[in-house]
């Protein structure tokens, strides 16, 4: 607050001195110029009466001559003072208006308001560094989850667009240098409610600087960074960055799943894209991507990621690039953009099964699709969207699978933040056999009536499941199966996907395993339905009815019986 106060004083110093001098001279003149009282005797104003008169003279159009009618000399002096004071006030007011538009003053006021907003936060929040397309998707997702977002971005015009967003949890914004540690401190990186820093700018090196600064300022603060360059990602990892999100590698793995295990890709698609659904042809979801010859147009970061994961599947690849030597494309690559028919024909488009438009130019990618479809109407098309605003064009072009870079990053980050057990489940799911994956999909489809499932986490502790913990503490056993389903409560079934116990993860845990203090369970169930585990976690009466043969309908008798049982155990 003091910096704003002194800034105002510095800018208003000259007009204030001028205004004070005008009032001082006017007051002095009124005391020196003699007047006449009703008896015709000479009379002079005192300083108090003179200052009083000059004060309302300078701000009032109509006034009386107090306490007696003025002489001509007094009226002449008043005329001089009126015009002088008007000029002084206009000069002062103009300076104030100019100060209100001064960028330094505006930034100082904004930073002061920002710091006060951070101090008032009483709920968990995340610091978002960079409010581009990816940042917008993440902030929207956090708002839907009821999580506060604190945004830092150098471009104030991006932050102004937040006023048009209808967020259920309004974000707190600061326009400033993202890499400046002072801004991270102002954003609350040491605040007890801060849960993590998310760096999702377009520049990998900027994200690296944010990661380094965050870990040096607060080593225990979780940091999630976006990185598309492996060298920068390795550098981030060396500083202890908790999660590094590379959209190209993520999407490359998803394409690999579509060729080797489409069923597992379907599971990943269910659990990752709960914030914004990706565009994919239903036929590909169920049948997967065909083998044969693939054509990759553009050998940048995306094209290299696709080829890296496809090499493991022994798929024949034909690379089309405008400068194969500069991009590091393998020998035998074809020179061109892929927008020309003769280039695609040379690449074998008529016998190819899949074409990937992997360039960074959205217009070229759309042109590649149109040309490829004209030459081979049966080919599967995969497109890369660089600018999120162009996604609507790709959807109208009817790409079979669209890679939206910003969406991939946002969904991955939101999954890590809001559903850490889902992240672990997806990591371990690669070990599932084809038959186990098919069985899991069959079970999920049966449970949800072929609709998309939702996930839910159960934590066995005093806050997460007090009733279940009380039941377990009474030395009575309660298994995973008993909190997953019960014939007396149809429609509340849930499928246990993962059990985290003592740092060990159990994928698709045995339903007969008894629950223990500290267990974390991941369930999936039907959307808009309350799971049995949700009903049991804080309802000891329901647990009594289902598993303790406590069938008394009168609450007092139920409580007495439960109390008696607990005492007998002790």
Question: Directed axis angle between helix 13-32 and helix 47-57, to 10°?
Answer: 130
Please list the residues that pair with 194 across neighbouring strands: 125
- The DSSP bridge pattern shows strands 42-43 and 35-36 to be antiparallel
What pLDDT score was predicted for residue 442?
92
Q: What is the DSSP string of 499-518?
A: EEETTEEEES--TTPBP-TT
Spatial separation of the C-alpha atoms in residues 372 and 354, rounded to whole Å: 10
Spatial separation of the C-alpha atoms in residues 192 and 547, rounded to whole Å: 40
Domain of residue 15: give its range: 2-100
In a domain, 108, yes or no: no
3-state secondary structure of 225: strand
E strand spans, 253-315: 293-297
For the entire predicted model, the pTM comes to 0.80
Short-list 504, 487, 394, 496, CA closest to 453: 496
Both 434 and 509 in a single domain? yes
What pLDDT score was predicted for residue 564?
57
Give the contacts of 200 (CB within 8 A, at least 6 positions apart).
Answer: 128, 129, 130, 132, 134, 135, 138, 207, 225, 226, 409, 413
Both 75 and 168 in a single domain? no
Both 70 and 95 in a single domain? yes
The CA-based dihedral angle spanning residues 21, 22, 23, 25, taken in that order and rounded to the nearest 10 degrees: 80
CATH number at residue 288: 3.40.50.720
Spatial separation of the C-alpha atoms in residues 316 and 292, rounded to whole Å: 6
Both 413 and 441 in a single domain? no
Give the gyration radius of the chain's Cα atoms: 36
What pLDDT score was predicted for residue 270?
87
Boundary-marking domain end, from 194, 220, 245: 245
CA dihedral sign, ordered 273, 274, 277, 281 = positive
What pLDDT score was predicted for residue 313?
72
Spatial separation of the C-alpha atoms in residues 524 and 497, rounded to whole Å: 7
User: What is the number of domains present in the chain?
Assistant: 4
Both 440 and 507 in a single domain? yes
3-state secondary structure of 14: helix
Distances from the Cα of 341 to the Cαs of 60, 354, 359, 371, in angstroms?
82, 16, 17, 6
In a domain, 117, yes or no: no
End-to-end alpha carbon distance in the chain: 61
Both 426 and 366 in a single domain? no
Q: What is the DSSP string of 137-188?
A: HHHHHHHHTT-EEEEEES-HHHHHGGGGS--SSPPEEEES-TT-HHHHHHTT
Both 360 and 466 in a single domain? no
In a domain, 115, yes or no: no
What pLDDT score was predicted for residue 91?
92
DSSP H or E stretch at residue 320: strand 316-321
Both 490 and 380 in a single domain? no
Looking up tokens 């934590």 gives: 459
Looking up tokens 């996930």 gives: 455
What pLDDT score was predicted for residue 477?
83
What pLDDT score was predicted for residue 560?
60
Instruction: Using CB atoms within 10 Å of the CB of residue 379, give its burial: 0 to 12 exposed, 13 to 18 middle, 19+ buried.
Output: buried
Spatial separation of the C-alpha atoms in residues 235 and 239, rounded to whole Å: 7
In a domain, 113, yes or no: no
Spatial separation of the C-alpha atoms in residues 513 and 154, rounded to whole Å: 52
Q: Is 175 left (phi over 0), alpha (psi -120 to 50) or beta?
A: beta
Q: How many CA atoms lie within 13 A of 122 on its CB side?
A: 1
The CA-based dihedral angle spanning residues 336, 342, 348, 353, taken in that order and rounded to the nearest 10 degrees: 80
In a domain, 105, yes or no: no
Boundary-marking domain end, from 352, 386, 417: 417
In a domain, 111, yes or no: no
Q: What is the DSSP string of 64-81?
A: ---SSPPPHHHHHHHHHH
Both 433 and 564 in a single domain? yes
Check: CB of residue 532 under 8 Å from CB of residue 485. yes
519: Cα separation from own chain's centroid: 29
Both 222 and 127 in a single domain? yes
Question: How many residues are present in the chain?
Answer: 570
Give the contacts of 354 (CB within 8 A, at least 6 positions apart).
Answer: 289, 290, 292, 294, 295, 379, 380, 381, 382
Both 194 and 55 in a single domain? no
What pLDDT score was predicted for residue 314?
74
Both 143 and 282 in a single domain? no
What pLDDT score was predicted for residue 559?
58
Looking up tokens 């009282």 gives: 37
Per-residue pLDDT of the chain (570 residues; tens, 9 = 90+): 567 777 788 888 999 999 999 999 999 999 999 988 888 888 899 999 899 888 888 776 667 787 888 888 999 999 899 889 989 999 999 998 988 888 778 777 888 888 888 989 999 999 999 998 899 999 999 998 889 999 999 887 777 777 777 788 889 998 888 888 999 999 999 999 999 999 999 899 999 999 999 999 999 999 999 998 888 999 999 888 999 999 999 999 899 889 888 899 989 988 886 666 778 888 888 888 988 899 999 999 999 998 888 777 778 889 999 999 888 888 889 999 999 999 999 999 999 999 999 999 999 999 999 999 999 999 999 999 988 888 889 888 888 999 998 999 999 999 999 888 999 999 999 999 889 999 999 999 999 888 888 899 999 999 889 988 888 887 678 899 999 998 888 888 999 999 999 889 999 999 999 999 999 999 999 888 889 899 889 888 788 778 775 554 455 555 565 555 544 444
Spatial separation of the C-alpha atoms in residues 89 and 92, rounded to whole Å: 5
Boundary-marking domain end, from 199, 219, 245: 245
With helix as H, strand as E and coil as C, how does 322-382 read?
A: CCHHHHCCCCCCEECCCCCHHHHHHHCCCCCCEEEECCCCHHHHHHHHHHHHHHCCCCEEE
In a domain, 187, yes or no: yes
CATH number at residue 17: 1.10.287.70
With helix as H, strand as E and coil as C, how does 183-213 read?
A: HHHHCCCCCCCEEEEEECCCCHHHHHHHHHH
In a domain, 238, yes or no: yes
Check: CB of residue 259 under 8 Å from CB of residue 315. yes
């Amino acid at each position: 607050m003091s910096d704003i106060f002194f800034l105002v004083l510095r800018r208003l110093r000259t007009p204030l001195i001028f205004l004070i001098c005008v009032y001082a001279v006017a007051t002095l003149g009124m005391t020196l110029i003699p007047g006449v009282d009703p008896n015709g005797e000479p009379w002079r104003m005192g300083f108090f009466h003179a200052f009083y008169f000059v004060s309302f003279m300078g701000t009032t159009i109509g006034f009386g001559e107090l306490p007696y009618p003025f002489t001509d000399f007094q009226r002449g002096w008043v005329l001089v003072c009126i015009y002088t004071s008007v000029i002084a006030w206009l000069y002062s007011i103009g300076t104030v208006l100019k100060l209100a538009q001064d960028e330094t003053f505006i930034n100082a006021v904004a930073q002061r308001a920002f710091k006060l907003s951070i101090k008032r936060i009483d709920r968990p929040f995340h610091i978002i560094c960079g409010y581009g397309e990816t940042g917008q998707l993440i902030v929207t997702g956090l708002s839907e989850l009821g999580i506060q977002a604190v945004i830092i971005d150098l471009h104030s015009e991006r932050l102004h667009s937040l006023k048009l967003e209808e967020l259920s949890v309004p974000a707190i914004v600061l326009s400033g240098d993202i890499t400046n540690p002072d801004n991270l401190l102002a954003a609350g990186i040491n605040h007890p409610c801060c849960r993590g820093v998310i760096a999702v700018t377009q520049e990998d090196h900027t994200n690296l600087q944010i990661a380094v600064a965050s870990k040096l300022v607060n080593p225990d603060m979780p940091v999630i960074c976006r990185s598309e360059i492996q060298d920068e990602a390795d550098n981030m990892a060396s500083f202890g960055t908790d999660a590094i999100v590379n959209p190209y590698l993520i999407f490359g793995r998803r394409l690999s799943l579509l060729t080797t295990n489409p069923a597992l890709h379907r599971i990943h698609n269910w659990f990752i894209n709960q914030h914004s659904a990706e565009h994919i042809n239903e036929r590909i979801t169920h049948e997967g991507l065909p083998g044969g010859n693939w054509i990759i147009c553009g050998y940048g970061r995306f094209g290299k990621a696709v080829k890296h994961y496809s090499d493991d599947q022994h798929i024949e690849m034909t690379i089309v690039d405008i400068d194969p030597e500069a991009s590091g494309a393998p020998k035998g690559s074809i020179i061109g953009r892929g927008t020309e028919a003769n280039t695609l024909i040379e690449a074998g488009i008529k016998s190819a099964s899949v074409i990937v438009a992997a360039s960074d130019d959205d217009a070229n990618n759309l042109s590649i699709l149109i040309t490829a479809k004209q030459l081979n109407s049966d080919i599967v098309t995969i497109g890369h969207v660089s600018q999120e605003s162009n996604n609507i064009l790709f959807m109208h072009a009817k790409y079979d699978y669209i890679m939206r870079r910003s969406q991939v990053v946002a969904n991955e980050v939101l999954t890590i933040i809001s559903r850490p057990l889902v992240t672990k489940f997806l990591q371990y799911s690669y070990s599932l056999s084809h038959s186990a994956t098919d069985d899991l999909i069959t079970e999920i489809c049966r449970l949800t009536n072929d609709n998309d499932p939702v996930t839910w986490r159960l934590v066995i502790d005093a806050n997460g499941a007090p009733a279940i913990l009380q039941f377990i503490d009474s030395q009575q056993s309660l298994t995973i199966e008993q909190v997953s389903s019960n014939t007396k409560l149809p429609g509340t079934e849930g499928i246990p996907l993962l059990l985290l116990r003592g740092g060990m993860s159990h994928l698709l845990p045995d339903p007969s395993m008894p629950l223990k203090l500290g267990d974390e369970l991941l369930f999936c169930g039907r959307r808009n339905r309350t799971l049995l585990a949700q009903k049991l976690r804080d309802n000891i009466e329901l647990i009594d009815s289902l598993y303790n043969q406590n069938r008394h309908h009168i609450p007092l008798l139920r409580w007495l019986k439960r109390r008696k049982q607990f005492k007998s155990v002790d």
